[in-house]
Amino acid sequence: MLTAVIIFLTAPTGLHLASVTKNPTLECTCTSTHFEDTRFSVKCQRNSSGQWNVNVNQQATTAAPGSATPFRLFVEQSTVTCEQEPFRAPRPNYIRNLELGSYYKFHTEGISWERARRRCAQEGAHLAIIDTPKEAEELKKMFAEHPKIADVDWLNNQAYIGVHDQADEGNFVTVFGNSLTYQNWENGEPNNGGGKEEENCVTMVRNGKMNDVHCELPLPFFCEQKI
C-alpha cells in the first residue's frame, strides 16, 4: 500500500522546485468480483544535469474477459519554491560531490594566489573553502591523485585555498570576507614566516592541514562551485 511519495522536479527556468505528494490514495472501483492484481510504482531518478525525472506506472489485470476494473489515482500536491539560486551546471573537469553540495576542480598549474582566485572566478567558481573535516579529506584525496606537480618539495606539497589575512594581519577570512568555520593548521602555523615575511595567503598541505604562505608563490589550487 502506497502511503507517501516525495517527488523532486526542476522548472524549465532552472529554478529548483519541490513537489510533494501528501497521503496519496489509490481508489479502485471494481465492477467485477474477479479483480486479481494491481501494481503501482513511482520511480524518481536524477540525470547528469542534476534534474529529476519522474515516472509513474500503474498496471491492473483481471481474470475474466470483459470485466471492467477502472482505477483512479488521487494525489494531493503542493509546490513550493526553494530559497536558493538557480541550478548551475558544472564547468568542464569539475567533480560533483553531492554529500558536500559542491563541485571541485584541482588545477595543477602553479600560479599566485590572486591569479588563482581570478581563474576560479572565470570558471564561475571560487577558491575552495574548507568548512568541515570531511571536505578537507575529499580535497586531500584529489591532491593525492597528482603526486608530482613540481620538482621542489615545498612547491609540490601544498595548494591554495580560499583563505587569507591580507586585510587584517592574523585575522584569517574566506574569499567572501567571512570568518572561518573550520581551521586545522600545521604545527606552529600560521606564523607569518616567523615574523620575517608577509605570509597572507593560505594553502592546504598534502596531509590536509593548513599553512600560511607568501601570496606570490606559484602553487596549484582548488576551485569550488556550489551545486
For the chain, which residues make up each domain, given as ranges?
A: 5-81, 95-226
Superfamily (CATH H level) for 95-226 = Mannose-Binding Protein A, subunit A (3.10.100.10)
* pLDDT for residue 158 is more than 50: yes
Cell of 192: 607569518
Which residue has 513550493 as its cell numbers?
A: 80
| Contact between residue 220 and residue 109 where contact means Cβ atoms under 8 Å apart | yes
The answer to pTM > 0.85 is: no
Confidence of residue 205 (pLDDT cuts 50, 70, 90): very high
DSSP category for residue 131: -
Which residue has 568555520 as its cell numbers?
A: 181
Encode pLDDT of 47-97 as tens digits: 555 555 666 666 655 545 555 555 454 444 445 454 555 556 667 889 999
CA distances from 81 to 8, 53, 85 (A): 11, 18, 11
Mean pLDDT of the chain: 76
Chain CA centroid to CA 61, Å: 44
* pLDDT for residue 44 is more than 50: yes
Provide φ and ψ at 138, rounded to 5°: -65, -40
